[in-house]
Amino acid sequence: MQEELDKRRPGRTPLDTPRKERDKVYIFSGVMEDDITTGTPVGLIIPNDVIEDEHINKHKSYKEVIRPGQAGYTFFKKYGQFADNIGAGRASGRETAARVAGGAVAKAVLDTMGIDVIAFITEIHGIKAQDNITYEMAKANYRKNDINCPDLEKAKEMIEELQRIKEQGDSVGGVVEIIARGVPAGLGEPVFDKLQATLAHALMSIGAIKGIEFGAGFGHTKLKGSESNDVPYYDEASGRVRFKTNRAGGILGGISNGEDIRIRVAVKPTPTISIPQGTVNMYTCENVKVEFNTRNDPSICPRIYPVCEAMVRIALLDALYVAKGYRAISSNIDPRWDLL
Amino acid sequence: MQEELDKRRPGRTPLDTPRKERDKVYIFSGVMEDDITTGTPVGLIIPNDVIEDEHINKHKSYKEVIRPGQAGYTFFKKYGQFADNIGAGRASGRETAARVAGGAVAKAVLDTMGIDVIAFITEIHGIKAQDNITYEMAKANYRKNDINCPDLEKAKEMIEELQRIKEQGDSVGGVVEIIARGVPAGLGEPVFDKLQATLAHALMSIGAIKGIEFGAGFGHTKLKGSESNDVPYYDEASGRVRFKTNRAGGILGGISNGEDIRIRVAVKPTPTISIPQGTVNMYTCENVKVEFNTRNDPSICPRIYPVCEAMVRIALLDALYVAKGYRAISSNIDPRWDLL
Amino acid sequence: MQEELDKRRPGRTPLDTPRKERDKVYIFSGVMEDDITTGTPVGLIIPNDVIEDEHINKHKSYKEVIRPGQAGYTFFKKYGQFADNIGAGRASGRETAARVAGGAVAKAVLDTMGIDVIAFITEIHGIKAQDNITYEMAKANYRKNDINCPDLEKAKEMIEELQRIKEQGDSVGGVVEIIARGVPAGLGEPVFDKLQATLAHALMSIGAIKGIEFGAGFGHTKLKGSESNDVPYYDEASGRVRFKTNRAGGILGGISNGEDIRIRVAVKPTPTISIPQGTVNMYTCENVKVEFNTRNDPSICPRIYPVCEAMVRIALLDALYVAKGYRAISSNIDPRWDLL
Amino acid sequence: MQEELDKRRPGRTPLDTPRKERDKVYIFSGVMEDDITTGTPVGLIIPNDVIEDEHINKHKSYKEVIRPGQAGYTFFKKYGQFADNIGAGRASGRETAARVAGGAVAKAVLDTMGIDVIAFITEIHGIKAQDNITYEMAKANYRKNDINCPDLEKAKEMIEELQRIKEQGDSVGGVVEIIARGVPAGLGEPVFDKLQATLAHALMSIGAIKGIEFGAGFGHTKLKGSESNDVPYYDEASGRVRFKTNRAGGILGGISNGEDIRIRVAVKPTPTISIPQGTVNMYTCENVKVEFNTRNDPSICPRIYPVCEAMVRIALLDALYVAKGYRAISSNIDPRWDLL
C-alpha cells in the first residue's frame, strides 16, 4: 500500500510541487498479524503532517477571495461561510491519497484473479506519445521516467515542456490512459450501472478530470458502423471468443467482453498558478486582482495516474463482487458458458 | 410526457428505422385528477406493441450468432443460455423510452425552478456544426430539422450524408451537446458524487455513448492554466458572481457554479448494418459470416438527444434533492450566501 | 407465484373482507419460455380490478376526515392536499400483494438452496396456541384451517372469537411466527446490517406490525446469562456445530448460526371498524364523530402471514447474495470452514 | 460529544465491568475553529487504549473455542480462520462507542429543531418500573441512579438484583425505553422505509437487542380495534391535531404523527459469565467445558441506553433529511398543511 502511495506522493521529482508530504499510511483495523485481512473493514489514516503554520496562514488570507479554477466559490455557495478554507479545503488533491490507499486493497484482491490495471501518460500540453501504446509496452516502460510516459522519446519533449511551463509560473494539462487486462467477460449491469457508467463515475470523481472516453471514444463519431464494429472470432489458442480490433474498449452493451478495457481521461491544467489573475472577493463583491505564491505542480498528470489506477481497481472490484454474488445464486447456467 | 416520448419515437422521418412503435405511455399510479402527483411513485408502462411474429422469429434465428457491435455476446457471458435474445434483448435501445418518460417527470419539477435542459446535434460522421452554439441559438432552432441540429446550413449536409449512408446499408455516429441553464450554484457532492461524476454516470449508461466531456473537455489538455481558468467577476446586473468564460462547463470542484452546464457526448454508429460481417456462433464456436436485414437507423443521434435531456434532468433533480435536504437542516448559514 | 398470491387474496373465507380482488398477476419482463428467468428484472403487474365507482365515491366522502388508526393524517402531513385518498390510498394493505409476488421469485431461488420459510398464527386477541410450535408441526398443519394456526384445537377458539368480533363490527390483532429452516451459518453483516436488523426492517415495513422479537425475544429479559446462552456441541450426525437450545433464534452477533431463524411479530387490530369513533376534519379542524361502513377484515392475521413469509424470503436472499459475493472473492479461506 | 461518550464508558459504577477504557474521542476532520462543522464529513477516532498484553493473550487462548452466546462461531463461519479474535473481535460492544459519537453529532442538529431523544431503563431481570413513565418524569430523574431508571424506588431493587447476580458470576437482561419528543408529523417513507422499519433497523443493529416494540407493541394483540385506535382531536392550545392516547407510539402508516415516538427494546443478558459452560472447539470439533474469567458487566442495560439514544437520533436525522429534501422541491403544497 505504501508503494502505491509513493507513486502519488509529491516532492519526488523536480517537476513536482516542493511541498513535503510524507503520505505515511497507518492501518488501524481489519488486518491481523501476517498482513491478512479479517473480512471486516480496513481502516486507514494518513496524517496530514505537512500543514505548517506559515502555509495555513497564507491560505487563510485568501479566505474571501475566489481562486480562479478552484472550488472555493462553489464550496462557499454550498456550505456557506463555514466551508473549510485551509489550502483548497475539502477540494484539495490531497484527498486522492485515500483513494490510492483504497485502491491498494482492491489490487490485492484483483491480483489473485489475474486482473491487472495500469495507467500512464500519453499527452502533455498537446505533445502526444505514439498512437495505441500496448499493454506490453506500458508494462515494460512503467515509471521509466518522471512522468510515466511509455513513449520514452516523446517523454523527453514533455518533460522539457513541463520545465518551461514551470518557469513561467503556469501549468498545463494532459491525457492519462488506463488499461485493465484480464477482466473476465460478464462484468457490469445492463441498464443504469453499465460498466462504462460506473467506471466513468469513479474516474470523473477525481477533481481535475474533465473528459473520458472508452476505446475509440470520440473517434467513433468519424467512423461508419462497418468500421466501428469489432469483428468477433473464435480463438483456438485461448479457447474463447476474441475480437479482431478493440474499438469498443472492452465493453459492449455495458458489460465487459474479455478484451482489454481501454480508457482515456482528460486532465485540466493545475488551477493554481503564479501569474496575476482577475477575481472577486466573495464577501465584499469587489472585483480584485490576485497573484498566488503557493507551491504547485506544473501539471497534475505525473501524480494523477496512480489515482486513476486506484479508482479503476475499486470500480472493477465492485462490479466483480456484484457479478460473483449473482453467479453464486444462479443454479442452472450451463457451465460451458461461464467464465466468471 | 407523451410529447417527450414522441421526440424519441422511431418512424417519424425518412432517416429513422421504419419500425412502427407507438410509444404510448400509460400512467398507472402516483397521479390523481388534474394531473397532479400525489407524492408517491409515478408508475408508467409503455407497451411493446410492435413485436410481430415475423420480427421475433427473425431474431430467434440469430440466437446463437454474435451480432457484431451488439451486447449479445456479453449478455450471454453474464446470463448464460437464458439471456433474452428477442431483438437486442435487454440491450435494445427501446429501454430508453422509459428514461424519456422518467425525464418528463423530472422536467415538470425543474420547470418550477427555472432550470432548462436542451440537447442537440453538433456533428454527424465528421461533419461539424459551427463552434460554440449558444443556448439561445439552440432554443431558437430546436427541432427545426429532422436531426435537431441548430446550425441549419450544416444540418443539410449532415442529412445528405445520412441518406447516403443509409443507402449503403451502413451507419454513422456523431456528437450530441447538452446545455443545462438555470442550475443554481451549489449542486453536487465534494468527493465521490461530484456533479460531473453523477452526470457522467447517467449519460454513460445510455447504450451507444462512448465518451463524454464537460466544458472545454479534452481541449483542456492543449491549454495552459492561465488560459484554462475562467475569470470570476461580480455582475452588477444579476447581483451574483459570474465567469468571463465557461471552460469549466459550469462545474468547479464537482459542484455547480451557476453558469451553464455544458456537456458533449460521443455516439457510436448504430451497430446493426446490412453489410456482410464476420462473426462467431457462440454455441458451436464456428467462425461464420452474417448479413442482417433488420430495420435500422443510419444513426442513433437524431433519436438519442431526448434521452440525453432526460438523463441530465434526472441527475440534476437527484442533486437538487440532496442539496435541498442538506440546506434545510443547516440552521446557521448566513442567508446572504444562499442561492439554493 | 399465483399460488402465493392466493394465500393473501381476500374473500376466500367467511372471516375475510367481502371485497372481491382477483389479485391476478401478469409477468411482463424477465421471464422467457419455459418459465425461466433471463437474469434481468422480473416485471409484474397486478391490476387493481376491484375499484368500483361506488367504493371510490364512498372513500372520497372521507377525504377531509381522519380515519382513526389509519395513515390518512400522516400522509396529509407529508404530502399535503394532494395525498391519494382513495381507500387507504398508498397505505392500503393492497400493496402487500406486490411483496408476496416478489417473495415468490425469492422462493424459487431459495428452494434450490434448501432454504424453507414458513409463517403461521399463534395468537388471536389473547388466545394463544401451545408454546414452541415446531417446524415439523407447522409444516404438517400448514393452512389446515382458515387462520393457518398449526394448533388445530386452539384454532377453533380463535375462529369463534373472530366471528364474534366481526359481528360486533370490531377487530382484533394477534401474533404471527416465522421459521426459516436451512439457512446456512454466515449470513448477515457484522455491524449496521446485522441479519436481525435487516429482517426487522423488512418485517416492520409491513403496515400493521408493531413489534418483533427473535428467539426468546422479550423473554430474554427474565433470564440469566447462564440460562439464556445456547450451549454449542458438535453433532456427529450432521458433521457440524449445533446448539442444544435456540433462544438466540438462529442469529448470534448479527450473523446466522445455522439453526432455525425464529421470529414473532405483533399485528395490531384492523383499524377500520364499524363502530362510531371521534375524530377530526383535517380541513376545517372541527372535532367530529364518524362511523365507517366499509368492508373490512375482523383481523389482518389470516392474510398477513404470506406477506411475512415473502419479506423474510426477500431479506434472506439479499443477505445470501451479499455473502456469496464476498465468499467468491475471498481466495484463501480454509475450505473446511466454509458452509456457504 | 465527550459527554455522550461518558454515559456509555465502562468503569464508572460498581455495577460495570472493571475494564478501564477512556473512550477519548479525537475529531480529525469536518470541524473548524469555534466548533462549527464545515459541511463535510466529521471524522472521529476513539483509540482503543485499553488493550494490554495480558488481556489480549487471554483472549488468544480462546481462539479455537466457541464462547456461548457470543459471535465467535458465526464470524468464523463467515470469515474463516482469519476472523479477528481479540476479545469479542468485531462483535465487541466497544464498537458502540462510535455510534454514541455519531449520535452526538446528530443531537447537535436535532437540538436546533427542538427534537429531544431520551432513553432509560424500565426493567431488569423481571423487576419492572411503574407503567407508562412519562417524558417529564424521565427528564426529571435522568441519570439519578447508576442504572438510569426513572422509577427511583424500583431502581433500588434492580441495583440490588444486579449486585446479587454479579456475585454469582452471572448476568441478566432488561428493557430499555426510548422517547423521542418534538418529532414533526410527516417523517418516514410510505412503503419499505416506514419510520418504524428504519428505527427498528437502527436499534436491532445493536448487538444485544433481541426484540423491539412501538407504542402498545405486543400489547396490541390483546386489544380490539375500538380500543387500539388512538382518537384524534383538534387541540386549540397548540393549533394542531393531537391524539387522546398514544398506543401507536407516534407512528401511523409508517409516518410520524407528531406525538411522542415511544419504543421498548429487549436486551439479553451479557453472554460472558464466570460460570462453567459446555461448548465446542471449532478447530478440533471436540465438545469441551470452559469457564471464563474475563471482566464483564452483570447487565449491559446501564451502558446500552446512550447507544439507543444515539441510534434513534441518527435514524430520525436521516428521515428528516429525506423529508426536508422532498418538501423543498414540492412547489405547490398548501402552506397551511406544512409542519416540516
ipTM attached to this prediction: 0.94
Whether D230 shows a pLDDT value over 70: the answer reads: yes
Q: With contact defined as beta carbons under 8 Å apart, do A301 and A149 qualify?
A: no
With bands split at pLDDT 50, 70 and 90, how would you rate the model's confidence at A30? confident
Nearest to D287 among C77, C223, C234 (CB): C234
Q: Of the ranges A6-10, D43-47, D330-334, which is most confident?
A: D43-47
Task: Note the pLDDT tens digit of each residue in A254-312.
Answer: 999 999 999 999 999 999 899 999 999 988 889 999 887 666 789 999 999 999 999 99
Task: Note the pLDDT tens digit of each residue in D232-266.
Answer: 999 999 888 999 999 999 999 999 999 999 999 99
Task: Note the pLDDT tens digit of each residue in C266-313.
Answer: 999 999 899 999 999 988 889 999 887 666 789 999 999 999 999 999
- pLDDT recorded at residue A39: 80
SS in 3 state form for C104-164?
HHHHHHHHHCCCEEEEEEEEECCEECCCCCCHHHHHHCCCCCCCCCCCHHHHHHHHHHHHH
Q: Which three cell numbers stand for residue A213?
A: 472516453
Whether C22 shows a pLDDT value over 90: the answer reads: no
C-alpha distance from D12 to closest chain C C-alpha (Å): 22
- Higher-confidence residue: C192 or C325? C192
Whether B13 shows a pLDDT value over 90: the answer reads: no
- pLDDT recorded at residue D3: 83
- Smallest CA–CA distance from B47 into chain C, residue: C28
- pLDDT recorded at residue C331: 65
d(CA D250, CA D255): 8
Nearest to A255 among B71, B217, B286 (CB): B71
Amino acid at D242: R
d(CA D329, CA A196): 31
- Higher-confidence residue: B219 or D76? B219
Helix %, strand %, coil % for chain B, to 5? Answer: 35, 20, 45
**Inter-chain CB proximity C331 and A112 less than 8 Å:** yes
- pLDDT recorded at residue B87: 60
Q: Identify all chain C residues contacting A325, using CB atoms and an 8 Å cutoff.
A: 321-322, 324-326, 328
d(CA A182, CA A194): 18
Q: Give Cα C88 distance to the centre of its chain.
A: 19
What is the secondary structure of D277-297 as a DSSP string? EEEEBTTT--EEEE-------
Residues 6+ apart with CB under 8 A from C130: C151, C154
CA angle D61, D64, D68 (to 5 degrees): 95
- Which CATH code is given to the segment(s) D2-215+250-337? 3.60.150.10
Nearest to A118 by CA among A140, A135, A96, A100: A135
- pLDDT recorded at residue C244: 96
Q: With contact defined as beta carbons under 8 Å apart, do C212 and C263 qualify?
A: yes
Mean pLDDT of D193-200: 98
Indicate which of A77, A99, A227 best probes the interface with B, i.e. most B CBs within 10 Å of its own CB: A77
With bands split at pLDDT 50, 70 and 90, how would you rate the model's confidence at A338? low
Alpha helices in C50-95 (DSSP H): 53-60, 72-79
Indicate which of D194, D317, D324, D332 best probes the interface with B, i.e. most B CBs within 10 Å of its own CB: D324
Q: With contact defined as beta carbons under 8 Å apart, do D96 and D309 qualify?
A: no
Whether B192 shows a pLDDT value over 80: the answer reads: yes
Q: With contact defined as beta carbons under 8 Å apart, do B43 and C47 qualify?
A: no
Whether C183 shows a pLDDT value over 70: the answer reads: yes
Is the sign of the CA dihedral B163, B168, B171, B177 positive or negative? negative
- pLDDT recorded at residue A20: 61
Q: Identify all chain B residues contacting C78, using CB atoms and an 8 Å cutoff.
A: 39
Q: What is the largest CA-CA distance in chain D?
A: 71
CB contacts < 8 A (B, D): 49
- Smallest CA–CA distance from B127 into chain A, residue: A222
d(CA A267, CA A246): 24
- Taken as a whole, chain A contains a residue count of 340
Q: Identify all chain D residues contacting C330, using CB atoms and an 8 Å cutoff.
A: 80
Q: Identify all chain A residues contacting C330, using CB atoms and an 8 Å cutoff.
A: 39
**Inter-chain CB proximity C328 and A328 less than 8 Å:** yes
Q: Identify all chain C residues contacting A328, using CB atoms and an 8 Å cutoff.
A: 321, 324-325, 327-328
With bands split at pLDDT 50, 70 and 90, how would you rate the model's confidence at B10? confident
- pLDDT recorded at residue B262: 98
Numbered residues of chain C with Cβ closer than 8 Å to any chain A Cβ: 36, 39-40, 109, 112-113, 190, 317, 320-322, 324-332
Q: With contact defined as beta carbons under 8 Å apart, do C133 and C122 qualify?
A: yes
Q: With contact defined as beta carbons under 8 Å apart, do C174 and C124 qualify?
A: yes
- Taken as a whole, chain C contains a residue count of 340
Residue found by looking up cell 386549540 in the block:
D236
A127-128 and A116-124 beta bridge pairing? antiparallel
DSSP-derived secondary structure letter, C249:
T
- Name the helix (H) or strand (E) containing B30: none
With bands split at pLDDT 50, 70 and 90, how would you rate the model's confidence at B134? very high
- Smallest CA–CA distance from C323 into chain A, residue: A325
Whether D228 shows a pLDDT value over 90: the answer reads: yes
Enumerate neighbours of C (3 or more CB pairs within 8 A).
A, B, D
> pLDDT averaged over chain D?
88
Indicate which of D90, D92, D94, D109 best probes the interface with A, i.e. most A CBs within 10 Å of its own CB: D90
Query: Can you give the pTM of this predicted structure?
Result: 0.93
Q: With contact defined as beta carbons under 8 Å apart, do B271 and B73 qualify?
A: no
Q: Which three cell numbers stand for residue D241?
A: 391535531
Mean pLDDT of B14-38: 76
Q: Which three cell numbers stand for residue D324?
A: 426536508
Nearest to B223 by CA among B241, B255, B245: B245
Nearest to C39 among B28, B37, B83 (CB): B83
Nearest to B257 by CA among A166, D255, A271, D7: A271
Whether B218 shows a pLDDT value over 80: the answer reads: yes
Q: What are phi and psi of A199, to 5 degrees?
A: -65, -40
> pLDDT averaged over chain A?
88
Amino acid at D115: I
Task: Note the pLDDT tens digit of each residue in A38-74.
Answer: 887 888 888 876 555 555 566 566 678 898 998 888 9
- pLDDT recorded at residue A13: 74
- pLDDT recorded at residue D330: 75
Least confident of A192-196, A297-301, B293-297, D68-72: B293-297
CATH fold label, B60-215+250-330: Chorismate synthase, AroC fold (3.60.150)
With bands split at pLDDT 50, 70 and 90, how would you rate the model's confidence at B29? confident
Is the sign of the CA dihedral C85, C87, C88, C89 positive or negative? negative
Mean pLDDT of C223-241: 94
